[in-house]
């Protein structure tokens, strides 16, 4: 048997009191075999302040003094005090650590620990994301286990707050599963593990019952003392509640005994002690050799370069995606405007082929209002009506009759302002920029996916009987034509138009939401643009738009309608979208 196999470390003395077997005199030194500690499975427990972390530190101090490597998973940042006497690599997430590490560093950390005999404190207390710290612990444990299969070098991995990784209740994550695997199979490879917890009831019992050595410090919670009674016996469950600080039951397989012992006090700075009123003085800590972390820093630098490159690529991708969405919106707008223009032209030409009433519009004429008023003046002077009419004329009572019965009329002057089509769908310029629309409106693109022009209805609306006004196209024809344009729009447009009708003045986003649609600004302004180009609304300044259908109708008739006739005509057109709004409610 070699010296290393028989080497021991002194950690405690036999304590006097109930619970121990009493085979040794109080004050007798308690030694632990190094190989069994390094390669076995241990468990140290006790309530807060009972001395469990002190016991773990005493064992670690003795191992480090004998140049045996360890890796400590520190969940509370309380083991860096070991650097007061020993040169350990303090790796974690805080700036106070020797090196900031991530899962990418796991293999290098395992290499330093096993091949270069570097003791490591893996401080996971500074990670804000539990998933990141768990992944780091998992990867380090995996690489330690894999390397030990070849090296078979005695090595101890200490896990603080082990109930967080191997809980009694609930599922375990990858870190817990890896630690259980080390507990079951690590010994044959030389890899030992010891778990530290203040709540034995919360630790998976399969782990506790398979441990080679255990230390039970003071416990008072009923659930925890029940665990002691189940594993050690009822007399120990009763005695454990009255133990002093640093005192505990030591159970080892190699001695097949239960001893009540008083552990030594740790020699290094106690970073885990409860803060008191005295000034806190951080001791001088040993610096780690710069060569030990050079490779780790290279890994960090390479990771930073990769993350920077990924960020650049993601930014480029976002720009390309944004450009694709913009081009798609422009394409949809062009397609929608093309279909709407075709629909409008079809409606206009169908009406142009209908009987010409009282000097109304004719698309074959160079200008519409001037042509209509010119014919009105010609007929007022007794000249024959245009051959395109069907002989019907205003009969003076709101109906139609023979042209010879028409009363004499006075010539009218053409009003100023462009004819209706320049308000609407065939305009090739953006009215928003011309009338001072907001940047958001001018930049917005229609993205309506309803294909509202494809389902347009032509001529199936049946308004109340309306009579032509003097010098104007039949009001029924105009209502049919405008109604066809309205119906060429989608439900969302109808809801927005109803909102503008109700409010008078509003903004596109409010109208879009009022129509039961989303708060998507691009979609709202795109649909608003269709209403504006059709002439149903107009820009009112400061990003607001106002309802313009009454003025559009009045302009269509060259201001020849009186108030009642205008109101009736507008109401007949509005029925095509107001009724739909009422049905939707």
Give the pLDDT confidence of 296-354 residue by residue, as tens digits.
777 766 666 677 778 878 888 888 888 898 888 888 777 777 777 776 666 666 555 54
The burial class, CB within 10 Å (0-12 / 13-18 / 19+), for 171 is: exposed
Average pLDDT, whole number, for the chain? 77
Q: Is residue 166 part of a domain?
A: yes
Mean pLDDT for 212-231 is 93
Q: Tell me, what's the pLDDT at 72? A: 97
Q: Tell me, what's the pLDDT at 349? A: 61
Residue 545 has pLDDT above 60, yes or no: yes
Mean pLDDT for 552-573 is 84
Percentage above 90 pLDDT, the chain? 42
Structural Rg of the chain based on CA atoms: 45
Provide the pLDDT confidence category of residue 473 given band limits of 50, 70 and 90: low
The rounded distance, in Å, linking the Cα atoms of 450 and 496 is 15
| CATH number of domain containing 501 | 1.10.10
Provide the pLDDT confidence category of residue 391 given band limits of 50, 70 and 90: very low
Q: Is residue 533 part of a domain?
A: yes
Q: Which of 310-314, 462-466, 469-473, 580-584 has the highest mean pLDDT?
A: 310-314
Provide the pLDDT confidence category of residue 508 given band limits of 50, 70 and 90: very high
Q: Tell me, what's the pLDDT at 347? A: 64
Q: Is residue 561 part of a domain?
A: yes
Q: Is residue 351 part of a domain?
A: no
Give the predicted TM-score (pTM) of the model.
Answer: 0.53
| CATH number of domain containing 189 | 3.40.50.300
Q: Is residue 455 part of a domain?
A: no
Q: Tell me, what's the pLDDT at 565? A: 85
Provide the pLDDT confidence category of residue 22 given band limits of 50, 70 and 90: low
Give the pLDDT confidence of 234-243 residue by residue, as tens digits.
889 989 999 9
Q: Tell me, what's the pLDDT at 448? A: 40
**CA 341 to mean position of chain CA atoms:** 41
Q: Tell me, what's the pLDDT at 479? A: 85
Provide the pLDDT confidence category of residue 6 given band limits of 50, 70 and 90: confident
The burial class, CB within 10 Å (0-12 / 13-18 / 19+), for 578 is: middle
DSSP assignments along 440-509, one per residue: HHHH------S-TTTT---S---PPP--PPTTS--HHHHHHHHHHHHHTS-HHHHHHHHHHHHHSEE-HH
**CA 484 to mean position of chain CA atoms:** 44
Give the pLDDT confidence of 341-390 residue by residue, as tens digits.
776 666 666 555 544 433 344 333 334 444 444 444 444 444 333 333 33
Mean pLDDT for 206-214 is 92
First to last CA, the chain: 92
Provide the pLDDT confidence category of residue 441 given band limits of 50, 70 and 90: very low
Mean pLDDT for 254-259 is 87
Residue 426 has pLDDT above 80, yes or no: no
Contact 446, 432 (CB under 8 A): no
Domain of residue 130, residue span: 4-272+285-295
Q: Is residue 302 part of a domain?
A: no
Q: Is residue 410 part of a domain?
A: no
Provide the pLDDT confidence category of residue 196 given band limits of 50, 70 and 90: very high
The rounded distance, in Å, linking the Cα atoms of 234 and 252 is 19
C-beta atoms surrounding 560 within 10 Å: 21
Q: Tell me, what's the pLDDT at 303? A: 65
Name the least confident of 44-53, 69-78, 95-104, 403-412.
403-412
Residue 477 has pLDDT above 70, yes or no: yes
Q: Tell me, what's the pLDDT at 333? A: 76
Percentage above 70 pLDDT, the chain? 69
Angle at CA of residue 39, ends 37 and 43, nearest 5°: 55
Give the pLDDT confidence of 112-158 residue by residue, as tens digits.
999 999 999 999 999 988 899 999 999 999 999 999 989 999 999 99
Higher pLDDT, 276 or 579: 579
Per the structure, the count of domains in the chain is 2
Q: Tell me, what's the pLDDT at 300? A: 66
Mean pLDDT for 564-584 is 76
Q: Is residue 566 part of a domain?
A: yes
Give the pLDDT confidence of 46-65 residue by residue, as tens digits.
999 999 999 999 999 999 99
Task: Dig out the tokens for 64 from the structure.
Answer: 């480090």
* Chosen domain end from 262, 295, 328: 295
Residue 410 has pLDDT above 80, yes or no: no
Q: Which of 58-62, 165-169, 413-417, 532-536 has the highest mean pLDDT?
A: 58-62
The rounded distance, in Å, linking the Cα atoms of 138 and 118 is 19
Task: Dig out the tokens for 111 from the structure.
Answer: 């290499």
């Amino acid at each position: 048997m070699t010296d290393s196999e028989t080497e021991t470390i002194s950690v405690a003395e036999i304590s006097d009191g109930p619970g121990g077997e009493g085979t040794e005199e109080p004050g007798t030194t308690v030694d632990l075999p190094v190989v069994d500690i390094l390669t076995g499975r241990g468990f140290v427990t006790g309530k807060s302040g009972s001395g469990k972390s002190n016991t773990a530190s005493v064992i670690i101090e003795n191992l480090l003094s004998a140049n045996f490597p360890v890796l400590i998973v520190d969940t509370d940042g309380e083991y860096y005090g070991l650097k007061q006497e020993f040169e350990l690599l303090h790796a974690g997430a805080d700036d106070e650590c020797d090196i900031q590490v991530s899962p990418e560093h796991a293999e290098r950390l395992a290499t330093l620990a096993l091949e270069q005999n570097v003791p490591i404190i893996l401080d996971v207390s500074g990670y804000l994301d539990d998933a990141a710290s768990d992944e780091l612990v998992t990867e380090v444990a995996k690489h330690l286990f894999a390397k030990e299969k070849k090296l078979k070098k005695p090595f101890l991995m200490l896990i603080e707050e082990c109930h967080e990784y191997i809980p009694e209740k609930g599922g375990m994550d990858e870190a817990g599963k890896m630690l259980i695997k080390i507990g079951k199979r690590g010994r044959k490879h030389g890899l030992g593990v010891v778990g530290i917890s203040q709540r034995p009831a919360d630790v998976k019992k399969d782990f506790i019952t398979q441990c080679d050595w255990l230390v039970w410090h003071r416990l008072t919670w009923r659930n925890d003392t029940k665990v002691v009674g189940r594993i050690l016996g009822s007399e120990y469950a009763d005695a454990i509640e009255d133990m002093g600080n640093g005192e505990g039951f030591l159970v080892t397989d190699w001695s097949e005994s239960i001893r009540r012992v008083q552990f030594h006090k740790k020699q290094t700075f106690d970073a885990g002690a409860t803060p008191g009123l005295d000034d806190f003085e951080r001791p001088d800590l040993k610096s780690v050799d710069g060569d030990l972390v050079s490779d780790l820093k290279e890994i960090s630098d390479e990771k930073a370069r990769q993350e920077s490159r990924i960020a650049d690529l993601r930014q480029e991708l976002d720009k390309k995606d944004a450009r694709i969405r913009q081009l798609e919106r422009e394409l949809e707008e062009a397609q929608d405007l093309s279909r709407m223009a075709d629909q409008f032209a079809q409606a206009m030409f169908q009406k142009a082929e209908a009987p010409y009433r009282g000097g109304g519009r004719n698309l074959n004429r160079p200008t519409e209002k001037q042509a209509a008023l010119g014919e009105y003046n010609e007929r007022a002077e007794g000249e024959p009506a245009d051959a395109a009419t069907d002989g019907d004329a205003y009969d003076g009572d709101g109906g139609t009759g023979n042209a010879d019965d028409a009363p004499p009329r006075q010539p009218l002057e053409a009003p100023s302002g462009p004819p209706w089509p320049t308000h609407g769908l065939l305009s090739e310029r953006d009215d928003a920029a011309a009338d001072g629309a907001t940047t958001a409106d001018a930049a917005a693109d229609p993205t309506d996916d309803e294909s509202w022009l494809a389902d347009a209805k032509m001529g199936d609306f049946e308004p109340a009987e309306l009579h032509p006004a003097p010098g104007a196209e039949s009001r029924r024809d105009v209502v049919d034509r405008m109604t066809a344009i309205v119906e060429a729009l989608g439900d969302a447009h109808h809801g927005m138009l109803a909102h503008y009708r109700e409010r008078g003045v509003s903004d596109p986003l409010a109208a879009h939401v009022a129509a039961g649609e989303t708060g998507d600004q691009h979609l709202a302004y795109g649909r608003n643009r269709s209403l504006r180009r059709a002439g149903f609304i107009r820009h009112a300044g400061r990003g607001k738009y106002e309802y313009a259908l009454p003025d559009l109708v009045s302009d269509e008739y060259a201001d020849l309608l009186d108030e009642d006739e205008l109101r009736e005509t507008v109401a007949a057109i509005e029925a095509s979208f107001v009724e739909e709004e009422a049905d939707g409610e």
